[in-house]
Amino acid sequence: MKKVTTLLAAGLAAAVGVANAAETITVVSWGGAYTKSQVEAYHKPWMAATGNTVVSEDYNGGLSEVKAQVEAGNVKWDLIDVELSDAIRGCDEGLLEEINIDDFPAGADGTPAADDFLPGTYTDCAVANIVWSTIFAYDSSKMENGPSTIADFFDTANFPGKRGLRKNPKANLEMALMADGVAADEVYSVLETEEGIERAFAKLDSIKGDVVWWEAGAQPPQLLADGEVAMTTAYNGRIFNAVASEDKPFEIVWDGQIWDLDLWVMPKGAPNKEAAMEFMKYSTGTEALAAQASWISYGPARKSSSPLVGSFHNKPELEMAGHMPTAPDNLKNALQNNFDFWADNQDQLNEQFNAWLAQ
Amino acid sequence: MTSTADVIDDKLLQKRLDKAMFNRRLRAFLLVLPILLFLLVVFIIPIGYFLFQGVYDKTFSSIMPQTTEILSEWDATSEPTEEMFAALAVDMVVARENKTIGKVATRVNRDLPGTRSLFTSTARKVSKLEAPFKESIPDVKDKWNDIEVWQAMKTASRKFTPGYYAAALDLKLKSDGSIVRQDEKRRIHMILMKRTLQISFLVTVFCLLLGYPIAYLLATLPTKTSNLLLILVLLPFWTSILVRTTAWIAMLQAQGVVNDLLVFFGITADDARFSLIYNKLGTLIAMTHILLPFMILPLYSVMKGIPPSYVRAAKSLGATNWTAFWRIYAPQTIPGLGAGAILVFIVAIGYYITPALVGGQEGTMISNTIDGHMRQSLNWNLAAALAGVLMIVVLFLYWLYDRIVGIDNMKLG
């Protein structure tokens, strides 16, 4: 019976799609394994259900292209996957369409969307799809008694070898403070002070000579695989995929992880607003988010998706739940990236960080 | 009678001549008009407009008109008055409705870090606030009592501002109009500027050392062989910069070809491989390779035009090979050398893809910072000021070159 209804629903949706004359929307994301997970979990099923087409484009983050398109009145993109800082900043500057969370479908268990999404995962202009995290990882085939805490990352005496760090003060300063013994919930209040910043830089200074700096998310797994570094910070999904798809002997240390969100936003004046809005609702639905989690280890932003998260798409024995940033075991000593702090201080800290690097 | 007629004739002739000259000039002008318009539309106007942004910023004054007006009368030291708070409240309500408060917040935050959230969070509540605003606004965030915030707003409210050029030179514009040095921890642009000049200079020297013998070889070999060799010079020239840069990454990285060979021949141990890339050395190697054709080609074309009989004549008069080369041959190559050097140097000074990919922390240049301000911090005004400073430096060096070598002495082909 259920099958019949599903079929009927699909048929109906297809009919509606045809009646609307199939539309083509442009969805922009970060590329690589991450875009692939979205294509598999969002684009393909949505295209099958509605008859519309999704064109996927890659970008490297940031608001400059959105700003250029909106200010020139020539918007080409319908939906963009952005970081929280850009979602809030774009909204404040009037570059993004506003959305109403109450228009979004309720969770599979009937919880209204506003309660089903994790706290803080939607704003006036954006809805999150995933929770990702900056963690650090090492190659377990090269280190028998590997590191287990964030302090070990900065301990080159007991854990010798090069360290990979992102060439950006973000996450590095927080991790430095946590390694220096600051509790996760006090990190940002310490960083608010001049002494706190000094303290974080002093901690980074202690390993500066051993650091290999990376910029793109694809680099850290490569650095580890090449043996260029003994351990490196990375985005958890990239390390997970290297382990799951390429059987790399990498181990993630969750202690001191810094988690953050990726959200959908729509530029002001998007060419296919309605279809893109439908896609946004579909792709942040309980099932779509749970399906995405079988392609990459980023946690779904809806509570109702968590119980549905299964195993890796081509490895039924690999359960995904324990690999999510949001898994209870992984959250023991974790920090949420504080957008307000970075929006206020990033220009100054970037300069200070770059000056520190140049010394 | 006749003389008058002559005068009239003269005048007529003069007129006709003028007309003919005018027509010729007009035709000449019309011929160059397309390229002139093209340059104007795609080059001079956009670049001029962009550079103008380095000194002009109306973000604050256009979104916060009332505050701007009242701040212009404020002496920047006395306590902010109720009128100032009221003007701020009025402007904020409008800015909140128009969704422009974020722009104001970003603008002020550039001068005083930590104020962005002050603006956005206050704006969210400001429509519900009541007079006296001098009390109700600081109730939302007590930071509004901080005179620094008002001073930063006063600085930001200037339409024409030297602030961005000051920032590009590691200086800081204060609210009273004076300029002081930037906080020592934030002085970054001068370091990068010096490094950019240093790298460009070294790349030019290396290109010269490597390119001169190659150009000499090309110019003196029989045409058949030299054409073949010329293709070897041009082939990389036609290959994408990205491809060449990534090829260098494969060559130079710790597990790359060069290090593998060094380990194989026992020059270094396996666990002590050289760091040849992601540092200044990597930038120097990759940029020298990429810019080498810019040195070889002008040198080659100049050397090709030097008659071999001069050197032979010198030798027949008793000069040694060395003297003949230094006294007779080398001076004649100066025009090509000058052209090659200035081409390489000026292309190098604005280089950005290669240093971004292989520069690591010590090999990146000022253009990478300009790129960062264009794409990440979206501080286009500062990017414009940095680009302006870079342009002034290049023009100055060009002038210096003209004084020392002479621009007429340059020969591109």
Question: What was the pLDDT predicted at B6?
Answer: 67
Query: With an 8 Å Cβ cutoff, is B62 touching chain A?
Result: no
pLDDT (tens digit per residue) in A121-168: 898 899 999 999 999 999 998 888 889 999 999 999 999 988 999 988
Residues of A in contact with B361 (CB under 8 A): 167, 213, 357-358
Question: What was the pLDDT predicted at A312?
Answer: 84
Question: Chain A residue with minimal CA distance to B256?
Answer: A226
Contact A352 B186 (CB under 8 A): yes
How far is B54 from A201, CA to CA, in rounded Å? 31
- Name residues 339-358 of chain A within 8 A of B (Cβ): 340, 343-352, 354-358
With residue B173 as reference, give the H or E element that holds it.
Answer: strand B171-173
Tell me if A2-131+261-323 shares its fold with A134-259+327-358: yes
Res. B126: pLDDT tops 80: yes
Question: What was the pLDDT predicted at A27?
Answer: 96
Report, at the CATH architecture level, how domain A2-131+261-323 is classified: 3-Layer(aba) Sandwich (3.40)
Query: Average pLDDT in the B41-45 region?
Result: 91
Average pLDDT of chain B to the nearest whole number: 89
Nearest to B101 among A92, A346, A351 (CB): A92
Query: Average pLDDT in the B24-49 region?
Result: 92
Using DSSP's 3-state secondary structure scheme, residue B171 falls into: strand
Res. A48: pLDDT tops 90: yes
Query: Average pLDDT in the B131-147 region?
Result: 89
Least confident interval from A198-207, B40-49, B215-224, B352-361 = B352-361
Res. A14: pLDDT tops 60: no
**Where do the domains of chain A lie?**
2-131+261-323, 134-259+327-358
Res. A20: pLDDT tops 60: no
Res. A2: pLDDT tops 60: no
How far is B407 from B395, CA to CA, in rounded Å? 13
Question: What was the pLDDT predicted at A19?
Answer: 44
Question: What was the pLDDT predicted at A254?
Answer: 93
Res. A341: pLDDT tops 80: yes
For residues B67 and B84, the answer to whether their CB atoms sit within 8 Å is yes
Question: What was the pLDDT predicted at A145?
Answer: 85
Query: With an 8 Å Cβ cutoff, is B103 touching chain A?
Result: yes
Query: Average pLDDT in the B146-151 region?
Result: 92
Tell me whether residue B353 is exposed, middle or buried, using C-beta atoms within 10 angstroms of its C-beta: 0 to 12, 13 to 18, 19 or more.
middle
**Residue A276 binned pLDDT confidence (cut-offs 50, 70, 90):** very high
Question: What was the pLDDT predicted at A12?
Answer: 46
Residues of B in contact with A139 (CB under 8 A): none
Alpha helices in B221-326 (DSSP H): 223-238, 241-252, 257-264, 280-304, 309-316, 321-323
Q: Give the pair of three-digit tokens for residue A318.
A: 């690999």
Residues of A in contact with B378 (CB under 8 A): 62-64, 67
pLDDT (tens digit per residue) in B249-274: 889 988 889 999 999 998 888 877 88
Q: Which residues contact B171 (CB under 8 A, 6 or more apart)?
A: B179, B180, B181, B182
Res. B373: pLDDT tops 90: no
Question: What was the pLDDT predicted at A17?
Answer: 45
CATH superfamily name and code, A134-259+327-358: Periplasmic binding protein-like II (3.40.190.10)
**pTM for the full predicted model:** 0.78
Contact A92 B120 (CB under 8 A): yes
Query: Average pLDDT in the A6-14 region?
Result: 47
- Give the minimum alpha-carbon distance from A298 to chain B in angstroms, rounded to a whole number: 25
Query: Average pLDDT in the A248-253 region?
Result: 92
Residues of A in contact with B253 (CB under 8 A): 226, 228
Q: How many CB atoms lie within 10 A of CB A174?
A: 26
Residues of B in contact with A63 (CB under 8 A): 378
Report the percent of chain A where pLDDT is more than 90.
48
The Cα diameter of chain B in Å comes to: 107
| Bond preceding residue B132 cis, omega within 30 of 0 | yes
Res. A269: pLDDT tops 90: yes
Res. B127: pLDDT tops 90: no
Res. A235: pLDDT tops 50: yes
Contact B99 A228 (CB under 8 A): no
Res. B221: pLDDT tops 50: yes
> For A53, what's the count of Cα atoms within 13 Å in the CB-facing half-sphere?
6
Res. B413: pLDDT tops 90: no
Res. B125: pLDDT tops 90: no
CB pairs under 8 A between A and B: 85
Query: With an 8 Å Cβ cutoff, is B246 touching chain A?
Result: no
Res. A68: pLDDT tops 90: no
Question: What was the pLDDT predicted at A5?
Answer: 47
Question: What was the pLDDT predicted at B362?
Answer: 79
Residues of B in contact with A67 (CB under 8 A): 378
Q: Which residue has the higher pLDDT, B218 or A245?
A: B218
Question: What was the pLDDT predicted at A21?
Answer: 64
The total number of residues shown for chain A amounts to 359
Question: What was the pLDDT predicted at A316?
Answer: 80
Res. A343: pLDDT tops 60: yes
